[in-house]
Structure 1
Amino acid sequence: MKVLVNDKQLLVSHSLAVRIGVEEALFLQLLHYRLEKNGVEKEGHIWYRQTYEGWAKQCSYWNITKVKRLITKLERYQLILSSNKLNSFVTDRSKWYRIDYEKIEKLLQKKVYTQEELFPEEPNLQEKKKTKEDMDYSNDIATIIHYFNEKTNKHFNPDSKTSNRLIKAILKEGYTVEDCHLVIDEQVRNWMHDPQMYKYLRPMTLFRSGNFESYLNNALARMQDNDYVPAPVVLDFDEGDYE
């Protein structure tokens, strides 16, 4: 128990954590600390300059990939505003960050529903919870496949057992629907107009675990820097991934 008392403590807002997630709230707390301690005033706001590698060194409990995902998610929520236009040199790969405190205040005013409000007591509650969990995955998978078909002009079946198994495994690892959309956008950008690679624009290729992580890293890297080499497609003939 000594370590729990004497070791460095990580501070996180409970109210913010229940709305956006513990890790996201923890990163915002760290950025808030850096803005107060090392912030620089530019264009009427206080900014903090850092690279992904620098963030990962400060947060040794997260790797660079995790840091990128957290920052990208908070940027999508527009709780963090970032820019590389404040750098003095074009070759500078760092970004400047600030927090939209007004948006956080509005977010904190929204009601958070309890488990009892979301899932009131009913007969056979355990069975219904299991059904609800399966339905959540089904809805997410259908959303992802619909988005995929829309972007690729293809017609894959959202009820496909192979697609469901692969995407469900991705979601269980903690990836989000938004992450899947990023991967789809990235590979559409890379392969849509490539006659050799267009045939691999399909769920069994994009959402296989090893491929997905590489493609997501490519998408995140493109947000930071357009100069990168896309990961090659990895085929699995046992899954029928051939033509």
Structure 2
Amino acid sequence: MGWLVNDDPLFVLPTVAVRLGLNESIFLQQLHYWLGKSTHTYDGHVWVYNTYEGWQKQFPFWSESTIRRTIVRLEKKGIVVSRYRSKLDKTKWYRIDYDVLANVMNDEEKRQNDDTNAQHEQKTVQHDASYVSTCLDGHSTMNRQTNITTDHTLQNIIQFYEQNGFGTISGYVGEKIALWVNETSEEMVLHALKVALQNGVNTWTYTEGILRNWKKNGYVTTKERRRRPVRTEMIPEWLHIDYSQYERKACSEAELEQKRRALEKRLRAAP
């Protein structure tokens, strides 16, 4: 494992990397490290000095232009304060304004929290608007399909449907429910939903299959379903025939051959 932590490692705080950027957080952490070892003070602050070439030796995975852009971004934020020793000297002195860093981090945290809250509120509003629109579509569709479906009926069915995990009433489902209420009753539709729920299948397709089966058996109300009709069948007339009067007549092989030839002759003569 010679590639791991044999060199002096570079540390980075994930929170700083998220709020300021990965490059900025790496450079800041390294600058903070050297400020802790520096003995150069000026205007009451500790400074360190280096050139872009010197920084590039500490960050060999970056180009000098990347290092320059990273430092400039931190300077614009006021987090890194820098100055040249002289106009002719390219060596640059650096320090960190820790108060500005704290303010920037707090402001960035507040902004990210505000963005998160705004996104959450937007999703909530979109969900509520979608829910209201879907319910209204289902409501209007059901009212168009039948005058039996009243606001009270819709409220009962929607409440049971959505509170028991069937999903949201869409326009299509609302239309199907309206048709079944018209053909049977509100009580029958609700009862079918309850039966589906008891069977562990909370889907409209399964519920409609229950209603279709009930209708096939002649149940249009729950009372009729509870009062299972006695099945009556017409006995066919042939069941009363006494076949014992007919005796089976045995035929010889010669008679069978004669009948076969007669049948073949009729078939050949047929147009």
Range into which the TM-score falls when normalised by the shorter chain: 0.3 to 0.5
TM-score normalised per structure 1: 0.44
Question: Which structure has the bigger radius of gyration?
Answer: 2
TM-score normalised per structure 2: 0.40
Q: Higher RCO, 1 or 2 (CA under 8 Å, sep at least 6)? A: 1
> Which one has a larger percent helix, Structure 1 or Structure 2?
2
